[in-house]
Amino acid sequence: MAFDPDLAARVRRWFHSQGVVIEEKRMMGGLCFLANGKMCLGVESDRLMVRLDPAVYETALQRPGCRPMDFTGRPMKGFVWVTREALDTDQGLHAWAALALEFNPRALSSKSPKAVRKPNRP
């Protein structure tokens, strides 16, 4: 799993500056940052994955450096990639990170409830 360690460090510093406790998990080919147990941002290669409000998805795609996120050939509404060029300044990174963090309280958790096993009957 390859990701840009400098970009990951910038993301960590931003969360810290906001007083947000994060959890980091290696997944989806990179490093994901979870806030409140929910995926918020991720670093894959040299780009940023941003989880944002699906209501602003189309508007976000109009911003420079923003691309639809698609692992399966079908875009995932509410998730975008942001290219390195759009993140060269702290202001660029902070704007995308703030957008993700703003949506985080309303985002659904991907944790599924544990399956309840029924006892085997003879």
Residue 111 within a domain: no
Residue 113 within a domain: no
Kindly state the tokens that stand for 69.
Answer: 């996120």
Contacts of 50 (CB under 8 A, 6+ apart): 41, 60, 79, 80, 81, 82, 96, 97, 99, 100
Residue 36 within a domain: yes
Residue 46 within a domain: yes
**pLDDT one digit per residue (tens) for the chain, 122 residues:** 589 999 999 999 999 999 999 999 998 779 999 999 999 999 999 999 999 999 999 999 999 999 999 877 888 889 999 999 999 999 999 999 999 999 999 998 866 544 444 445 54
What domain range includes position 38?
A: 5-106
pTM of the model: 0.85
Q: What is the CATH number of the domain that holds 41?
A: 3.90.1150.30
Tally of domains within the chain: 1
